[in-house]
């Protein structure tokens, strides 16, 4: 899985509420549902790390903040059915550890 971040942000003092927008393409093959699950877990872990790092730049000295305090839009081709484990992981209200 390749994780790339393309970030174009205004100066932190101009940001009132940062929003994370992410896109992903998960393996399509139904024979590899375990790979889809691992890719989903890795994606959520990387998003959590990104949120934690970016919150420090927007609120220096504030300490570690709750990851669910930053709204997130996850787009992409997840190649999963609505009742799959991958969809359940991606639709949780908070990022997982």
Q: Which residues are catalytic?
A: 77
Virtual torsion, Cα 12, 49, 66, 14, nearest 10 deg: 10
Q: Please tell me the distance from the alpha carbon of residue 54 to that of residue 56, in angstroms, as a whole number.
A: 5
- Supply 34's token pair: 């375990």
- List the one residue out of 46, 33, 31 whose CA is nearest residue 1: 46
């Amino acid at each position: 899985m390749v994780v790339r971040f393309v970030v174009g942000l205004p100066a932190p003092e101009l940001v009132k509420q940062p929003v994370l927008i992410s896109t992903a393409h998960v393996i399509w093959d139904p024979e590899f549902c375990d790979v889809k699950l691992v890719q989903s877990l890795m994606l959520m872990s990387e998003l959590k790390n990104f949120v934690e790092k970016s919150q420090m730049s927007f609120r220096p000295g504030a300490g570690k903040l709750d990851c669910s305090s930053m709204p997130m839009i996850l787009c992409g081709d997840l190649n999963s059915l609505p009742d799959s484990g991958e969809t359940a992981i991606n639709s949780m209200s908070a990022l997982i550890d």
